[in-house]
Chain A
């Protein structure tokens, strides 16, 4: 509440944000930057989604109808890069920007100027990446994993790919540093670490993962750059290098990256389910330990992406056992969410619906993950549509659904108005039906023997492919409902400060919409917490 603001010095509440474009260009305000991150990621979601629809249109039936194989490969590569680095990651950083200061009772992020910088790098990075579509030789077409030697066959786009990955990494590292410093230094004085909301906790862990692995990715792509232009042979067998070493380095980044995209989603769902179950989160502390365990394990399982490269038997066994272990803390999280719902008094507003679908469908992705962990079986699954089904289940009804849930959950706090609940529910049901129609048949395709990343396929795969394509188009169109909800977000009824019946956390103690500056003086987190119970 603004009544908490008592000193007049440095009180900016009397003037709002600057007007016009400069507000957004120069802003150091966590809410403005959060908004920009979220809008940017939504735009990238549609850019990457359009690429997915090019892919699914071509795969609608056997034979080539729309694109050439080389362009198809550019689409699969760009779709992944745009979705991973442009949509999912910035969306979670946007949520972190908006919510973390408000959840821990801080006035802003700890490093506001760097915050501005870490956002504005992103449009530049993606401008560069997307411009490669128009370069001689086309966009990168070697898959987002950028395996050499294939990636070295990229045309003029190659250095631009490397440079844009460097920029994305820079942006992520700066964002992560900012989040860690904010959480560790700017909490309300009586908010102990283990009293922090789960979203803050999962982001703290995620931020450490980012700092640990983004430099590894930067190193890997820099070695590609020097192999290509400066005569080194890190990954070139002819010069004594090892192409497999790139895969080890890449996946040492890549596997923690997977958790970077899912841990904040766990945090979001852990905020929403208690609110709509009207019950505290079950096992808060074990959730923290589970997330930490997942983060630790993420560093020792990378080679489960590489069971077919010919590792020594002992290596394969180690990575199989380590990977299987991840099921334990992940299971704890899922059981805790069910425990939260158990004997609650649930209502099913849109954020809750998306969170429940998250728990169901992420679990299905987790099951296929457990199947993939079994190395001999993985040899059959590897690089097939079974894997495509698996990671889309954890990313789309996983990360993306959590993002949607978060948007609906906090939208009234951001805009000061209730969104259109009917449209939200329609968005939920169409998304859920079509996401399953898209990705469930892919399990069958993969088991039946369809490799991933192919522009055309044998006729026996035709039926499931058209189903998946219909689902993809439906899912894409469903997202337009979300745009409608956003465009009409300010037309609904005025939102109260608490918005929902039983939310927990400091963000619900400030007015809706949240004022431009919140918590100029630290709140009493403990008192606020108890007032809810």
Chain B
């Protein structure tokens, strides 16, 4: 650890490092993400966070005040009261109101998250121990997506490779999922063996891939770029080694990509669909 890292660590412990965007590799908070719903999720998260902070300030404030003022060492004499119906009614009622105020926006977002009707692109995502398989339903494109070679070489004990020297260590795949920007993409998730969970924080999507069940999730990415996630459900020994990489591209670039995938070397395509 170099001194700069230690300094940053201490700052963040003091809550001073929350500068946010300045530290791209130093995330403290949930990403805002690249979809409307990921932003809504982020806003909900921050709303509850601040509600908790203010309740915390109030409760801990009273408690600390009491700890200072009502010490025996400070000459405090103990009162004898043991209940107050008024106080108890107030501190039961106020939380109920606060909860109600949080429940409404949470339910609204939840309803939107579940509405996967009328997608532009449908992709079947199948979890395997330990890689993902993607099949674009209408485009006839399908492929496996596994941990990229540089990470594979570095991940083993005594590999002799410093993880810091590997770009996107454990978060890079050989073939990323490619989706068009601004289009509604529906994922149909299932599994071939045990339960996995497909998670990309920037999309605010985490949905389990369960054998025998087809789950749905959807997103509409509003920003082009490369986004990374991981399997989130313990799925065996290499659970930590089945990342997800998704490339959001413009609609025409997406069409071009589909074309190369479908018209490319048939033999290559054949090879790539082998497990």
Q: What is the interface of chain A, defined by CB distance below 8 A to chain B?
A: 61-70, 73, 141-143, 147, 149-150, 153, 237-238, 241-244, 277-286, 308-310, 313, 316-317, 320-321, 324-325, 327-328, 331-332, 334-336, 338-339, 341-348, 356, 359-360, 363-364, 367-368, 370-371, 374-377, 379-380, 382-384, 440-441, 444, 447-449, 451-460, 462-464, 466-467, 502
Number of interface residues of B (CB under 8 A): 103
Minimum Cβ distance to chain B for residue A349 (Å): 11
Mind listing 13 A-B residue pairs with CB under 8 Å? A142-B234, A143-B234, A280-B82, A309-B210, A320-B103, A338-B63, A374-B45, A376-B110, A380-B204, A448-B28, A455-B240, A456-B241, A457-B240
B79 at the binding interface (Cβ < 8 Å): yes
Further pairs besides A149-B193, A382-B206: 10, Cβ < 8 Å? A67-B157, A150-B234, A237-B211, A310-B215, A367-B55, A374-B106, A375-B106, A449-B230, A460-B26, A462-B164
Do B62 and A338 touch across chains, with their CB atoms under 8 A apart? yes
- 8 smallest CB-CB distances across A and B, nearest first, come from A237-B212, A454-B240, A448-B27, A310-B215, A367-B52, A62-B163, A278-B78, A343-B79
Do B239 and A453 touch across chains, with their CB atoms under 8 A apart? yes
Minimum Cβ distance to chain B for residue A250 (Å): 13
Minimum Cβ distance to chain B for residue A428 (Å): 15
Which of A286, A313, A370, A463 touches B114 (beta carbons < 8 Å)? A313
Do B194 and A149 touch across chains, with their CB atoms under 8 A apart? yes
Chain B residues whose C-beta falls within 8 Å of the C-beta of A316 in the assembled complex: 110, 114
**Complex CA distance for A444 and B215, rounded to whole angstroms:** 29
Question: Which of A332, A364, A374 has the most CB atoms of chain B within a 10 A radius of its CB?
Answer: A374
B117 at the binding interface (Cβ < 8 Å): no
B268 at the binding interface (Cβ < 8 Å): no
Chain A residues whose C-beta falls within 8 Å of the C-beta of B80 in the assembled complex: 279-280
**Complex CA distance for A435 and B13, rounded to whole angstroms:** 14
**Complex CA distance for A447 and B49, rounded to whole angstroms:** 12
Known A62-B163, A383-B233, A451-B199; judge A345-B72 contact (CB<8 A). Answer: yes
B9 at the binding interface (Cβ < 8 Å): yes
Chain B residues whose C-beta falls within 8 Å of the C-beta of A341 in the assembled complex: 63, 66-67, 70
Minimum Cβ distance to chain A for residue B114 (Å): 4
Chain B residues whose C-beta falls within 8 Å of the C-beta of A280 in the assembled complex: 80, 82
Do B210 and A243 touch across chains, with their CB atoms under 8 A apart? yes
Which of A283, A345, A448, A455 touches B71 (beta carbons < 8 Å)? A345
Do B45 and A371 touch across chains, with their CB atoms under 8 A apart? yes
Known A149-B211, A338-B59, A448-B27; judge A282-B154 contact (CB<8 A). Answer: no
Chain A residues whose C-beta falls within 8 Å of the C-beta of B232 in the assembled complex: 308, 382-384, 451
Do B72 and A347 touch across chains, with their CB atoms under 8 A apart? yes
B118 at the binding interface (Cβ < 8 Å): no
**Complex CA distance for A448 and B229, rounded to whole angstroms:** 11
Do B27 and A379 touch across chains, with their CB atoms under 8 A apart? no
Do A324 and B102 touch across chains, with their CB atoms under 8 A apart? yes
Do A370 and B52 touch across chains, with their CB atoms under 8 A apart? yes
Chain A residues whose C-beta falls within 8 Å of the C-beta of B84 in the assembled complex: 282-283, 339
**Complex CA distance for A474 and B204, rounded to whole angstroms:** 35
Chain A residues whose C-beta falls within 8 Å of the C-beta of B126 in the assembled complex: none
Taking CB as reference atom, which chain B residue is nearest A290?
B92
Stretch among B133-141, B167-175, B176-184, B257-265 lining the A interface: B167-175
Minimum Cβ distance to chain B for residue A127 (Å): 26
**Complex CA distance for A149 and B41, rounded to whole angstroms:** 31
**Complex CA distance for A341 and B52, rounded to whole angstroms:** 22
Do B27 and A346 touch across chains, with their CB atoms under 8 A apart? no
Chain A residues whose C-beta falls within 8 Å of the C-beta of B199 in the assembled complex: 383, 451
Minimum Cβ distance to chain B for residue A288 (Å): 12
Chain B residues whose C-beta falls within 8 Å of the C-beta of A66 in the assembled complex: 157
Chain A residues whose C-beta falls within 8 Å of the C-beta of B66 in the assembled complex: 338, 341-344, 346
Do A281 and B79 touch across chains, with their CB atoms under 8 A apart? no
Which of A377, A455, A502 touches B41 (beta carbons < 8 Å)? A377
Do B71 and A346 touch across chains, with their CB atoms under 8 A apart? yes
B216 at the binding interface (Cβ < 8 Å): yes
Minimum Cβ distance to chain B for residue A429 (Å): 15
Which of A62, A244, A383 touches B206 (beta carbons < 8 Å)? A383
B31 at the binding interface (Cβ < 8 Å): yes
Minimum Cβ distance to chain A for residue B125 (Å): 13
Chain A residues whose C-beta falls within 8 Å of the C-beta of B72 in the assembled complex: 278, 345-347
Known A328-B99, A346-B72; judge A459-B164 contact (CB<8 A). Answer: yes
- Residues 47-97 of B at the A interface (beta carbon under 8 Å): 48-49, 51-52, 55-56, 59-60, 62-63, 66-67, 70-73, 76-84, 87-88, 91-92, 95-96
**Complex CA distance for A463 and B210, rounded to whole angstroms:** 33
**Complex CA distance for A458 and B243, rounded to whole angstroms:** 10
Taking CB as reference atom, which chain A residue is nearest B108?
A376
Which of A70, A347, A363, A451 touches B237 (beta carbons < 8 Å)? A70
**Complex CA distance for A309 and B210, rounded to whole angstroms:** 8
Chain B residues whose C-beta falls within 8 Å of the C-beta of A331 in the assembled complex: 91-92, 95
**Complex CA distance for A457 and B194, rounded to whole angstroms:** 22
Minimum Cβ distance to chain A for residue B224 (Å): 20
Do B106 and A449 touch across chains, with their CB atoms under 8 A apart? no
**Complex CA distance for A86 and B86, rounded to whole angstroms:** 42
